[in-house]
Structures are given as structure tokens and as C-alpha cells.
């Protein structure tokens, strides 16, 4: 599971005297064979080596970067099993013994750079697409806390509070029994409060986006009443679950909620895009119109069908992207063909601080050309 602490370490990593090598590699099996992306990586790393030779670097910096290149090459050709990821993000600063690898579920434009700090922007934009969920399942005595991110689950701790076993209702309910009942209810309240406090602790450390509560129906409102406002604001679903559930079931239930919410959010976003574009307000749809809006710096949110790719052209002079094979409309230079102009557009949007929303299966967006943008301003 991609760990929040690991990510924060990466975001704030400053190696001082040595440099960091950052590599993004598109390993999407729909586009590349293993051999193809291995060759692509070799070319990228060769480019980095050539770039290092032209810079005035210390011996330590050179040694560290060369070691980075060797380790990255080894990881991709030997260690990476080629399964499950659409792209890899690798960060290395050998002189500081710093090494991190992320396997990502979305494709990204391949690139390699050696810079004073890690190149984290594409990674952070892609991870923004995914919400971190916390699922808390409580019973009268037990509780389980899970965190789910990018389809993986991690259980936080098995919390068990001693609660005296329930007094059965007998024929005669004496004073002592009523007192024991009250004592038990106090324990249940204390237990629920304890679990609510633990959840808040986890929230402060891990910054999850959404909370799912699972409990028996009669316990849900009781537990909710103990939750801090921060947590109540993030409440995404209430489910009828028992703490004896398996980790696998906890994952399945969480992913159901996540997929349902994501589908509804996508529908809402695509509908808004359709309305804005249809009324010629702050929206455009279709590849060429979107590329023009990107070029003009108008794009607030780029919206595209995941997996959408199309050939196009890139101007080597001004980086204009287009689907029209003609001299550049902005600077007049002849254009270069690129195998996937959509990938170039996403990369451009990432570096322009646009939001990027991948939509997984939406008929309306497919009809509108698989791509569009909500605009910051009209032209
Ligand atoms: Zn141009």
C-alpha cells in the first residue's frame, strides 16, 4: 500500500550535495510490450547520462547519479514483474541511500530527470485521483479499523476492550442487576469513545479522505455521536457490518462504496461538462478543442476516458499540440508526429497545475469524444 509517511518523505526530500534521479515509465500493457518499455527506459537513461556529462558536477554527484541509473535499470529489467501497474515512478539518490518505487494504476508520460529534488508532480496529480478510505467496524466489545487506498487494504489494529458480558433478562430484575446493566452500557460508551478517539488519531496521522462506518443498526447512531466533526464531515457510508468480518470482506465492502461514489461523481462531472460545453460557457469537448484550450491556459479540469489515446502532432518550436497535420498555427514551424497526443496533453496539463479527472466508463463522455475540459475562463 502506498504509505502516507513514505509519500511525505518523498515530497520533502532534499539530499543537499547530491542529486535525485526521477523516472516515470509508462508500462501500460495496452500500449507497450515489456521489450518496448525496456528500450524506452534505456533511451531515457542514455539521455540523462549525456545531460550529466555537460554539467559541472562534483565526483560525488556523478557517482551518485550513475549508481541511480544502474539501480533503476536493474529494477525494471530484473525486479519488476510486469504485473498490475500502468506506470512506474522511481526515485533514487544513491549518495543518500534514498530509493522509492511506486506502481501506479494510471498511465503517465515516460521521462527521466536528474535534479536537486524529486520530480513529484506527475505522481501527486495521479494520486489525487484516488481517495484514501478508512473503514471502522464496531461492535459492543470489538472494533476493527482498516485503511484502503488504490485497491489495497491495511488493517490498523485489532482493538479489544474488556466489556462485562451482557446480563440476561431474567424473571426478577433487582437493583443489583439494573446497576450491572448500567455499568455495561457505560463500558460500551467508553469503548465506542475509545474507538472514535483512535480513528481521529489515525486521521491526524494518515489524512484519509473518507470514512465508512460499519456496525449493527442500533449501534451506528451511538458510535456516530462520539465522532469528532472532522470525521463526521468525511462520512461516506453507513453499513451493517460485524467486527468478525474478514479483511477480504472489509476490502470488498469499501471498494463497493468507493466505486459507487466515483461513478456518481463522474456522472455529475460529465453532465456539468456537457452543460458548459453545450451552452458555450466554461467547457469544451473533443480532442482538438481541448488541445486549443490547454494551449491558451484556459483549462481548470481536464476530463478524459481512462485509456483514451490518439495520434497527433507536436510543434518542436513552441510545444503546441494538435491533431491537424499542417505547419504550426502559432509559430509556422513544421510539426512532428507523436504516437499519442493525449498522453502529451495530460503531461502538459500536469505541469500547468490543472486538475485531471480520469473517467472509467461513461457513455456520455465517449460520445463527446472521450476528452473535454472545464475552463477557468472563456476565450
Ligand atoms: Zn509552434
pLDDT in tens, 290-344: 999 999 999 999 999 998 999 999 999 999 999 999 999 999 999 999 999 999 9
pLDDT of res. 83: 86
Q: Give me 187's grid cell.
A: 463500558
Cβ atoms of 160 and 106 closer than 8 Å: no
Ligand 1 center to residue 213 CA distance, Å? 54
Ligand 1 center to residue 52 CA distance, Å? 28
- Which residue, 332, 292, 353, 336, is CA-closest to 128? 353
Ligand 1 center to residue 307 CA distance, Å? 27
pLDDT of res. 160: 55
Ligand 1 center to residue 321 CA distance, Å? 9
Ligand 1 center to residue 150 CA distance, Å? 39
Position 127 pLDDT exceeds 90: no
Q: What is the pLDDT of residues 5-18, one digit of tens each?
A: 888 899 999 999 99
Ligand 1 center to residue 292 CA distance, Å? 12
Q: Give me 23's grid cell.
A: 523516472
Distance of CA 44 to the CA centre of its chain: 25
Ligand 1 center to residue 332 CA distance, Å? 6
pLDDT of res. 124: 86
241's CB contacts (< 8 A; 6+ apart) are: 137, 214, 215, 250, 253
Residue range 253-268: mean pLDDT, rounded? 95
The backbone torsions φ and ψ at residue 176, rounded to the nearest 5 degrees and listed phi first, read -60, -45
Distance CA 335, CA 324 (A): 9
Ligand 1 center to residue 315 CA distance, Å? 5
Across the chain, what does the average pLDDT equal? 91
Q: What is the pLDDT of residues 206-258, one digit of tens each?
A: 889 999 999 999 999 999 999 999 999 999 999 999 999 999 999 999 999 99
Residue range 265-284: mean pLDDT, rounded? 95
Would you call 144 helix, strand, or coil by DSSP?
A: strand
Terminus-to-terminus CA distance in the chain, angstroms? Answer: 43
Ligand 1 center to residue 333 CA distance, Å? 6
Ligand 1 center to residue 11 CA distance, Å? 34
Ligand 1 center to residue 320 CA distance, Å? 5
Ligand 1 center to residue 121 CA distance, Å? 25
Ligand 1 center to residue 9 CA distance, Å? 39
Ligand 1 center to residue 305 CA distance, Å? 27
Query: pLDDT band for position 118 (50/70/90)?
Result: very high
264's CB contacts (< 8 A; 6+ apart) are: none
Amino acid at each position: 500500500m502506498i504509505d502516507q509517511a513514505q509519500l511525505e518523505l518523498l515530497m520533502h526530500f532534499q539530499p543537499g550535495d547530491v542529486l535525485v534521479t526521477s523516472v516515470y515509465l509508462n508500462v501500460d500493457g495496452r500500449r507497450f510490450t515489456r521489450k518496448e518499455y525496456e528500450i524506452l527506459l534505456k533511451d531515457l537513461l542514455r539521455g540523462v547520462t549525456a545531460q550529466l556529462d555537460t554539467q559541472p558536477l562534483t565526483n560525488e554527484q556523478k557517482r551518485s547519479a550513475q549508481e541511480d541509473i544502474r539501480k533503476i535499470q536493474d529494477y525494471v529489467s530484473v525486479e519488476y514483474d510486469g504485473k498490475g501497474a500502468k506506470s512506474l515512478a522511481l526515485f533514487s539518490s544513491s549518495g543518500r541511500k534514498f530509493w522509492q518505487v511506486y506502481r501506479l494504476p494510471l498511465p503517465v508520460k515516460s521521462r527521466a530527470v536528474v535534479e536537486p529534488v524529486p520530480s513529484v508532480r506527475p505522481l501527486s496529480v495521479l494520486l489525487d485521483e484516488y481517495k484514501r478510505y478508512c473503514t471502522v467496524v464496531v461492535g459492543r466489545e470489538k472494533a476493527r479499523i482498516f485503511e484502503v487506498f488504490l485497491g489495497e487494504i491495511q488493517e490498523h489494529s485489532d482493538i479489544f476492550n474488556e466489556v462485562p458480558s451482557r446480563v440476561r433478562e431474567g424473571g426478577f430484575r433487582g437493583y443489583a442487576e439494573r446497576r450491572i446493566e448500567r455499568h455495561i452500557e457505560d463500558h460500551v460508551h467508553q469503548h465506542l469513545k475509545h474507538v472514535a478517539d483512535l480513528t481521529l488519531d489515525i486521521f491526524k496521522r494518515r489524512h484519509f479522505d473518507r470514512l465508512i462506518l460499519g456496525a449493527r443498526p442500533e449501534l451506528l447512531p451511538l458510535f456516530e455521536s462520539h465522532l469528532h466533526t472532522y470525521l463526521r464531515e468525511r462520512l461516506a457510508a453507513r453499513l451493517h457490518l460485524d467486527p468478525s468480518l474478514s479483511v477480504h470482506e472489509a476490502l470488498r465492502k469499501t471498494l463497493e462504496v468507493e466505486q459507487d461514489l466515483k461513478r456518481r461523481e463522474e456522472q455529475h462531472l460529465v453532465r456539468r461538462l456537457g452543460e458548459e460545453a453545450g451552452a458555450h460557457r466554461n467547457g469544451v469537448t473533443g480532442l482538438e478543442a481541448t488541445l486549443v484550450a490547454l494551449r491558451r491556459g484556459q483549462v481548470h479540469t481536464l476530463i478524459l476516458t481512462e485509456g483514451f489515446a490518439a495520434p497527433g502532432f507536436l510543434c518542436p518550436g513552441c510545444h503546441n499540440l494538435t491533431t491537424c497535420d499542417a505547419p504550426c498555427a502559432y509559430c509556422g514551424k513544421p510539426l512532428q508526429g507523436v504516437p499519442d497526443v493525449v498522453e502529451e496533453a495530460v503531461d502538459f496539463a500536469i505541469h500547468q497545475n490543472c486538475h485531471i479527472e480520469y473517467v472509467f466508463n461513461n457513455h456520455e463522455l465517449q460520445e463527446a469524444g472521450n476528452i473535454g475540459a472545464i475552463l477557468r475562463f472563456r476565450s
